[in-house]
Amino acid sequence: MTDDADATADAAAGVDEEEAVRTDGGDAAAAGADDVALDPWGSSTVADYRKLFEEFGIEEFDELLESVPNPHYLMRRGVIFGHRDYRPVAEAMREGEPFAALSGFMPTGDPHIGHKLVFDEIIWHQEQGGDAYGLIADLEAHAARGLTWAEIDEHSRDYLLSLLALGFDPEDGELYRQSDNRELQDLAFELGAEANFSEFQAIYGFDGETDVSHMQSVVTQMADILYPQLEEPKPTVIPVGPDQDPHVRLARDLATRMRYFKVTAAYASFECDDAERELVAAAYAALADDVEEGGNGDESVRCEDAADWLREHAPEPVDARESVVAKLEEAGMEPVRPRTRFFDRQATDDAFEALVEAVDGEKRVYEGHVDSFELDRAEAEELARQVELDHGGYGFVPPSSVYHRFMTGLTGGKMSSSVPASHISLLDDPAEGYDKVKSATTGGRETAEEQREKGGRADECPVYELYAYLLAGDDDEFATEVYEECVGGERLCGDCKEQAAVLMEEFLEEHQEKREEAEALLEDLDIDLDSDRQR
């Protein structure tokens, strides 16, 4: 969930046409990135973002862009390229209902232009009416990176000043440090009871050498992600780079495990897994019309009938077919009837009894679950959540996420905080920012003549990324103009970099002026930036 300063992008290469020599610094990094190993504390790169859709179930953001009111330019330009279950957030936006956005920052160095992507995403969600949260992941910085508390205090101040300078409204949002938030730590303790070391080992590669504080910082991050829902459950989005997806997936799992009830579709008294349920649904759909047309006074599909149909018509998946046929045969003449099931995951006795009482209409009560024949899935979900809240549960909605592309380093390859020339700090002297852009590699051709003939490679150019991600701001026409002039051969790299360098210098001047103005605002906030912790 934290946006690590060492997170990197696709390797890009190419230099200014005036230099007449092209440097290829990214091939090795890109080759290693093809494995798409998502490490929240490493320096992962993602050479092929399509693999994230295939391997991790991240969905393409373009598919729901039209459903997002007033989409941010990072969404419109494909910088925000993927999401996990963002639809409930977009719906809440459209309907004027509560939603939240949260992201965190591990204070390991200066905030830079890569972090600005996340700052902007939080601020935009706040402007759309969401509850906004920005947190300093100081426990993680201390446990996973070994920073001293004095170093953490200094970097934390810098991150918060930039967030405020860019437009975060602290009166309508919340800023906090993990180490100072007791509610957060209490929630982390409860979530820890639902997680185990084997799981951390599988997700993060932890082993016997991993210290306990590092593991504890993971549970704390899970609490961060769910923290906006402590007062009331609501759709919550976590804007992150794709390397943070393991945290999001674990948080979604823990949110589900904390729920009192699981609501599913069902067709008979016995329980099915997802694959089995699909097969029973197919059998019921195929047989129901025939039974009704028979008109013999017994208009029920029987479990044994469904078993016979599945043997003949549903050979795949084999394991699910064999297991569900056995269950159907054991149920025999029991009718197959669609119903909505409330499964007791970890409800108190009082909560389960209250749920049984709250389910109106025809129902069947079993040991461990309740079946309703009249409630649809959405009504059942809302009822289950309300009963849970009435009896001391959290009622968490699984958190959503959006994923932005990593920025390419100005020198080609990865953007790294340990290589000052590869990135622009939000604290850089504006003249230094100008010089870094002027020295940046590009996607240009080897000569000006070849550039005019073949066009530049804007899709491989760190300087064009600066326009698309930052310098063009909300002006899509300007970003498109730069791109088309580049690939059309009208724009040469020297002039392009000069324009970008001037815009970057102006941005840094303005941002740092606003940081100075934000000093007084930060002083008024209830956030301690002078830790008395040792080490």
User: What pLDDT is stored for residue 18 in this prediction?
Assistant: 30
Count of Cβ atoms closer than 10 Å to residue 145 Cβ: 17
Q: What is the mean pLDDT of the chain?
A: 87
Residue 180 CA to residue 177 CA, distance in Å, equals 5
User: What pLDDT is stored for residue 415 in this prediction?
Assistant: 76
Residue 224 CA to residue 477 CA, distance in Å, equals 38
User: What pLDDT is stored for residue 328 in this prediction?
Assistant: 96
pLDDT above 80 for 91: yes
The two tokens of residue 51 are 């693999």
For the stretch 19-31, pLDDT in tens is 222 222 233 222 2
409 versus 73: the higher-pLDDT residue is: 73
Cα first-last separation, the chain: 25
Burial class (CB in 10 A: 0-12, 13-18, 19+), 504: buried
The two tokens of residue 202 are 């599988």
CB of 33 closer than 8 Å to CB of 242: no
The two tokens of residue 242 are 């794709």
Confidence band, pLDDT 50/70/90 cuts, at residue 426: very high
Residue 261 CA to residue 341 CA, distance in Å, equals 10
Residue percentage of the chain with pLDDT more than 90: 71
User: What pLDDT is stored for residue 170 in this prediction?
Assistant: 95
CB of 402 closer than 8 Å to CB of 237: yes
Q: Residue 361: left if φ>0, alpha if ψ -120 to 50, beta else—which one? A: left
Phi/psi of residue 418, nearest 5 degrees: -85, -5
pLDDT above 60 for 41: no
3-state DSSP assignment of residue 215: helix
CB of 19 closer than 8 Å to CB of 448: no
Q: What CATH number has the domain spanning 17-258+398-404?
A: 3.40.50.620
Angle at 493 between CA 487 and CA 497, to 5 degrees: 120
The two tokens of residue 191 are 């979530």
pLDDT above 70 for 5: no
User: What pLDDT is stored for residue 291 in this prediction?
Assistant: 66
Alpha helices in 227-273 (DSSP H): 245-257
Matching residue, tokens 């997680």? 195
Report the CATH superfamily, name and number, of domain 420-524: Tyrosyl-Transfer RNA Synthetase (1.10.240.10)
User: What pLDDT is stored for residue 25 in this prediction?
Assistant: 29
The set of residues, in sequence order, having a beta carbon less than 8 Å from that of 454 and lying 6+ positions away, is 445, 489
User: What residue segments make up the domains of the chain, in order of their start?
Assistant: 17-258+398-404, 262-390, 420-524
**Nearest Cα to Cα of residue 102 among 70, 136, 72, 71:** 136
Mean pLDDT of 139-162: 91
The reply to whether 17-258+398-404 and 420-524 are identical in fold is no
User: What pLDDT is stored for residue 413 in this prediction?
Assistant: 77
3-state DSSP assignment of residue 419: coil
Confidence band, pLDDT 50/70/90 cuts, at residue 323: very high
User: What pLDDT is stored for residue 528 in this prediction?
Assistant: 87
Matching residue, tokens 């003549």? 449
Residue 252 CA to residue 406 CA, distance in Å, equals 23
Mean pLDDT of 285-296: 68
Mean pLDDT of 466-471: 96
> How many residues would you count in the chain?
535
Strand partners, 82: 60, 403
Residue 521 CA to residue 186 CA, distance in Å, equals 29
Confidence band, pLDDT 50/70/90 cuts, at residue 108: confident
Residue 384 CA to residue 263 CA, distance in Å, equals 8
Confidence band, pLDDT 50/70/90 cuts, at residue 45: low
For the stretch 481-518, pLDDT in tens is 999 999 999 999 999 999 999 999 999 999 999 999 99
